Amino acid sequence: MPALWIQNARVIDPASKRDSLGDLFIANGKIAASLSAADKKRAKKIDAKGLIACPGLVDIHVHFREPGQMHKETIETGSRAAAAGGFTSVVCMPNTAPVADSAGTIQLIKDSITRTSCIRVYPTGCITVGMKGQTLAPIGSLKRAGVVAITDDGDCVQSNELMRRAVEYAKMFDLPIMDHCQDHSMTVGAVMNEGIMSTRLGLKGWPHAAEDIIVSRNVILATYTGAHIHMQHISSKNSVEILRRAKARGVSVTAEATPHHIALTDETLATYDTNFKMNPPLRTEDDRIAIIEGLRDGTLDCLATDHAPHTDYEKDKEFDFAPNGILGLETALAVSLDVLVRQSKFKLPYVIDLFTRKAAKIVNLPAGNLAEGAAADICLFDPEEKWTYDAKAGFSKSSNSPWHGKTLTGRVKTTFVEGRIVFENGKIK
Amino acid sequence: MPWTRRHLITLEELSLAEIDQIHATATAFKKILGRSVKKVPALRGKTIVNLFLEPSTRTRMAFDMAAKRLSADVISLDGASSSTTKGETLRDTAENIQALNADMIIIRHAASGSPLYLSNILDIPVINAGDGAHEHPTQGLLDTFTMKEHLGSLKGRKVVILGDILFSRVARSNIHALTKMGANVTLVGPATLVPHWFTDLGVKVSHDLKSALADAEVVMLLRIQHERQSSGHFPSLGEYTSMFGLNKTRASWLNPKAIIMHPGPINRGVEIDSELADGDRSVILEQVSNGIAVRMAVLYLCSGGQPESVVTTD
Ligand SMILES: [Zn+2]
């Protein structure tokens, strides 16, 4: 493979605190400090004037629906959507069919990743058998099979005792636990945030207290066991506050926020559009602002999309009957740039950090930096390009996105994995 | 002002003028209903489909009768006989109904937002006959019509809605209509069934029956569902009755000329004493009769009729 020479980019690598106009050199799929004169002559040159070159983005929360629900997404289509969004490493959730609660299923997923994925995809395993919350899954064997974390995402472990044992047991393998924080007894039949909007619309509400209680539980368990617990897609102001205080005390907890929770509120549900139905639900403006502030002061560690594909016919239903979840990979960067950089005045390198180094660190992925010798996973994007997102023309198998037809600013131009171009100018290579 | 709406989905979206137009049209139809021949040819040759995906006898009968008084043909589909129980989607069912050349669809559905969803799919008018805990616009219209008959203008009048507000589509539609008409609305009931969020809709929320009922000119009771007890919204029907049931003593706190309303069906002895339900302050049966005229008005206007031409339709 010839060397690669990305020229005239604004290179932003938060891990090495680099933010400068200049060049990036890639030899043998790795970041190089420079190239020999001979290599420079032969290198494929890419003029990146006006573009940002940053580490390939990292998403620690996606649903690729394989095995079992491949009509919604496959590892192949999901990885393409990821590449189109500038992502080079993603962590996929275990709520497949069957769920990923055995080494055999993990092997099946890994085989498909090897065969079909154009980016790096890392599997997670379940905390409990069948994600039923009753008995521990074979966590050690899952780790040996290659999972990077365990989670019952979507089916929060309700038993405090079982969660405590899971945390203790996983700590032995240095395996992070990720938790979708939801007290099920408080959210039976709930389809949106409980509040003024659910009252108006006559829809069953999901009170943020149901999230806050489990976040508190997890803070207590992390304190008690000394183990690390990662809180998925935080949606409430109170949860942010609980995490802020826990972190100030040095408790080993981390948390993520999604682009949709920082961009949208439950007001968007006024027309019962199921492309705004997700779990945890969109909340109020107060919550939205609190999550942004949580990202600003480091209470929330990273951004993650919770990319959750569903087919049109599954979403095309009465609001109560439609499944939760929206696409996220192809719009995450543009939406976050809009909300965090343009509206909330975050520094661009800080936002990139949330999508790269900080995300990778939570589950110890070898990703998220452009240090010499690191794999040349790179995202090249134009922060100013305006484009209209057509979810139907996207790379995901599904098109359930609240941003369908919306004009976004900031567009991924090229995505490299190990120095190979996997996505360029709207096409998968 | 001409009537321009094709669908009736919510009272939240109607203007005061539109509510008045429906009421005025209902008044004209009510006169017709008092004659020996109670039928007008306004919707002759039109087919109306009653799609009731959630059980209801009263509302369905009232729509049925209203459509027949307008000379329309009516086809009724209920939850049990409809194909949605066989796994067909609501979209498929609705598109089939439209393909059969129906002229209008009346829908009752347990899921909030379904009539709006249908109105976005279909070209024919969609009338909401109750969607989940969202709205029941014709009930709100007939309730306010009945109040106007007794009180005249509702401006500044004190109206109390008592009971399970949280799950009540009747309450929501009435709140939207009453606040537009200038009434002072107070919601009362246990805190679990009357959450504070409702104040955002421009009404008062109270958990103190005595002060809420004091001098009220209308008290509207809502049916208490037994299921709410098992879901922990209140301890027992007995406890509910002892705290919030309307009895003779409590009714004496009302304005002497106050009327008592209930959308039915009534749990006698639970939310209201039988004696009061049948007493001379009760207008419960008038609500039922007015339901026909009001629904005739809605069907007539949404299928293209104009308020001022009602009398000339026969
Ligand atoms: Zn998820």
In a domain, A397, yes or no: no
CATH level 3 topology of B16-136+291-312 = Rossmann fold (3.40.50)
Is residue A390 annotated as part of the catalytic site, yes or no?
no
* Whole-prediction pTM: 0.94
Indicate whether A29 and A157 sit together in one domain: no
Q: ipTM score of the complex?
A: 0.93
- A199 interfacial to chain B (CB closer than 8 Å): yes
Number of domains in chain A: 2
In a domain, A395, yes or no: no
Domain ranges of chain B: 16-136+291-312, 137-287
For the segment(s) B137-287, the CATH number from 3.30.1330.10, 3.40.50.1370, 3.30.565.10, 3.40.718.10 is 3.40.50.1370
> What's chain B look like in SS3?
CCCCCCCECCCCCCCHHHHHHHHHHHHHHHHHHCCCCCCCCCCCCCEEEEEECCCCCHHHHHHHHHHHHCCCEEEEEECCCCHHHHCCCHHHHHHHHHHCCCCEEEEEECCCCHHHHHHHHCCCCEEEEEECCCECHHHHHHHHHHHHHHHCCCCCCEEEEECCCCCCHHHHHHHHHHHHCCCEEEEECCCCCCCHHHHHHCCEEECCHHHHHCCCCEEEECCCCCHHHHCCCCCCHHHHHHHHCECHHHHCCCCCCCEEECCCCCCECCCECHHHHCCCCECHHHHHHHHHHHHHHHHHHHCCCCHHHHHHHC
- List CB contacts (< 8 A) between B133 and chain A: 202-204
pLDDT digits (tens, 9 = 90+) for B74-109: 998 877 666 666 678 999 998 999 998 999 999 999
Residue B6 annotated as binding site: no
Indicate whether A46 and A143 sit together in one domain: no
Indicate whether A295 and A340 sit together in one domain: yes
Indicate whether A29 and A62 sit together in one domain: no
Overall average pLDDT of the B34-41 stretch: 89
- A318 interfacial to chain B (CB closer than 8 Å): yes
Q: Are strands A378-388 and A407-417 parallel, antiparallel or unpaired?
A: antiparallel
Overall average pLDDT of the B158-170 stretch: 97
> Looking at CA atoms only, how far is residue B132 from chain A in angstroms?
7
pLDDT digits (tens, 9 = 90+) for A237-255: 999 999 999 999 999 999 9
pLDDT attached to residue A346? 98
Indicate whether A24 and A93 sit together in one domain: no
Indicate whether A357 and A298 sit together in one domain: yes
- Interior angle at CA B159, CA B153 and CA B160, nearest 5: 170
Contact B112 A271 (CB under 8 A): no
- Among chain A residues, the shortest Cα distance to B115 is held by A318
pLDDT digits (tens, 9 = 90+) for A31-72: 999 999 999 999 999 999 999 999 999 999 999 999 999 999
The CATH number assigned to the domain holding A225 equals: 3.20.20.140
Indicate whether A147 and A197 sit together in one domain: yes
| pLDDT of residue B312 exceeding 70 | no
Average pLDDT across chain A, whole number = 97
In a domain, A368, yes or no: no
The CATH number assigned to the domain holding A21 equals: 2.30.40.10
Indicate whether A33 and A171 sit together in one domain: no
Overall average pLDDT of the B210-236 stretch: 91
In a domain, A394, yes or no: no
Q: For chain B, give the percent of residues with pLDDT over 70.
A: 96
Confirm if A267 and A316 have CB atoms less than 8 A apart. no
For A29-33, A34-38, A75-79, A267-271, which range has the lowest pLDDT when averaged over its residues? Answer: A34-38
pLDDT attached to residue B92? 92
> In the beta sheet, which residues pair with residue A12?
A19
Domains B16-136+291-312 and B137-287 share a fold: yes
pLDDT digits (tens, 9 = 90+) for B205-222: 999 999 999 999 999 999
- List CB contacts (< 8 A) between B166 and chain A: 199
Indicate whether A28 and A169 sit together in one domain: no
For testing contact with chain A, the best of B107, B112, B121 (most A CBs within 10 A): B112
Domain encompassing residue A41: 4-52+377-387+407-428
pLDDT attached to residue B314? 47
Overall average pLDDT of the A378-406 stretch: 97
Indicate whether A95 and A199 sit together in one domain: yes
- A161 interfacial to chain B (CB closer than 8 Å): no
Average pLDDT across chain B, whole number = 93
In a domain, A308, yes or no: yes
pLDDT attached to residue B88? 84
| pLDDT of residue A363 exceeding 70 | yes
> Looking at CA atoms only, how far is residue A319 from chain B in angstroms?
7
Indicate whether A189 and A256 sit together in one domain: yes
Overall average pLDDT of the B10-39 stretch: 95
Indicate whether A92 and A38 sit together in one domain: no
